[in-house]
A and B are shown apart, each in its own frame.
Chain A
């Protein structure tokens, strides 16, 4: 029994060490909190705030856009399957879970190949005379990056939304109808408010990882015109590497991500108290 307690506890400690401890490291790491200095941190802070501002802004715009599109797509699909799936629910669920078992890389790779100048997307577009010449989608087009993010993350949003929408009591919707609301207003007044916690949870699941995403961007664009915050992190590891810069960027991102996480936890706690 003791082992059952101790081993997991060791894992917890190592997780905590892994994420928190190295953060203040300069090439000469300082482990005693009373010796910590903020000198490097402030330098880097100015660097982040000053020089990289366009990158942060761009990351924010891309992530917000991609999350919004994700939400629209995921909600539509989850709503349809939950309410009208009927006999086909099992089939739909299999199809919706399938992307979980396909690696993220494979899904991105398939788009890299489709979007190449000689790829099928351009073939179709030129065949239909929508564009006279093949478009080079992979040369730093913001549209490609945002849609790539949507494509990558939308499956993770559909399932939690489905799980929640499936549990909504149909009688509540019928009550809305009986009270004179048309389908649109029933949806706006009844379904949407009911599914607010699920929307919040699925947004947390999708949006937070997007802030650290560098691979989607690297694979689908690779151009400095679409650099995101995740790319800064990755570059700091690849180039000068291993130094305080990566650690401080990580700290910056963690602190930034704590804001939505704390908000989410407060909201769920509030919802639980109400029940």
Chain B
């Protein structure tokens, strides 16, 4: 008796299972079990896209990580890992230190030239670009469109064109400026000024005119309105421009290469380019890593300053709301 009951229960369970399988959510899961069904399921997770993206990220960053690692190589090879050492950075008593980045006089002058060029360019191009951006936003008529076109032009045109035309400009027309640091700085500033202009203009457009007008209504002169109201609101954009201009200048080797009067004014990037085609040692990797680290350092300083400024602002606004209430 009890046997037949349990048999019937079993049969019921089987039947229920079968029914459940035929309808409801598991229908789609069964369909997606076969490859074709999985392909047809419109709500499947995008595994192919995901793996393609991760593959791309690996492809874009792994070689660089390997190159950074090789700058700490202990052997002469620039392709195979032979052990850890700092000998290509600041030399090692056991090895001939003349090839190391911070020891070799050639690389050291190049390093100093790199830093000099990028810091000076940064501190000229960014204020100039900010002024330019504020200036354009005041202009009426066709001038902003022309400026826009010019900025786009200097953005997409191959840099070699700018390099060559600058070279011809300084050798034929503006002979007062000799090839070397002066010419390099002038052309870098001209080329880099478009970064702050584009970034600051975008920010200006999103801010609108109201704040400045409010300031002048409250009795500020136009200069005061810009200095005390507009500029503080532009700080984030300005900081980003500083970081971008620095990164782009310290990596630039095209314009600067044509305009360097001799080996003395070639910055590190040009040295890397020249050496990459001939005698590569891990010191060149160290040089490239150094460029990367300095860029990162400037970017981090920017982030730090940004944090400080914004936290100060928050404090101020809290104070003000306190007064109001």
Contact = CB atoms under 8 A, between A and B. Distances in A.
A binds B: yes
Interface of A: 1, 3-5, 7-8, 11-12, 14-23, 25, 29, 31, 73, 76-77, 79-81, 83-84, 92, 95-96, 98-114, 116, 118-120, 123, 151, 154-155, 177, 182-183, 204-205, 208-215, 218-219, 222, 230, 233-234, 237, 242, 246-247, 250, 253-254, 257, 261, 265
Contacts of B61: 95, 98-99
5 contacts: A4-B132, A7-B131, A8-B193, A103-B295, A113-B78
A125 to B, nearest CB: 14
B83 interface: no
B78 A183 contact: no
Interface string B107-143: 0000000000000000000001001101110000000
Contacts of A111: 63
Q: Which of A15, A92, A212, A222 has the most CB of B within 10 A?
A: A15
B251 A80 contact: no
A151 B53 contact: no
B169 A22 contact: yes
Contacts of A218: 277
A120 B285 CA distance: 16
B158 A253 contact: yes
B40 to A, nearest CB: 8
A165 to B, nearest CB: 12
B43 to A, nearest CB: 9
Given A106-B288, A213-B158, A230-B158, A23 B53 contact: no
Interface stretch (B26-34, B98-106, B147-155): B147-155
A73 B53 CA distance: 9
B299 interface: yes
Task: Name A's interface SS.
Answer: helix
B66 A242 contact: no
Contacts of A15: 150, 154, 190
A208 B169 CA distance: 23
A12 B168 contact: no
Contacts, number: 221
Interface of B: 42, 46, 49-50, 52-53, 56-57, 59-61, 63-64, 66-67, 70, 77-80, 128, 131-132, 134-136, 147, 149-150, 152-162, 164-169, 171-173, 186-187, 189-190, 193, 222-223, 247, 250-251, 253-254, 258, 269, 272-273, 276-277, 280, 284-285, 288-289, 291-292, 295-296, 299
A11 B190 contact: yes
Contact of A113 (B79, B164, B167): B79
Contacts of A101: 247, 292, 295-296, 299
Contacts of B299: 101
B67 A25 contact: no
A213 B253 CA distance: 12
Nearest to B296: A101
Contact of B53 (A92, A204, A215): A92
Given A81-B53, A84-B50, A110 B67 contact: yes
B164 A80 contact: no
A-B complex: 9 closest residue pairs judged by Cβ atoms: A212-B158, A22-B168, A8-B132, A103-B251, A110-B67, A110-B63, A106-B288, A119-B79, A80-B49
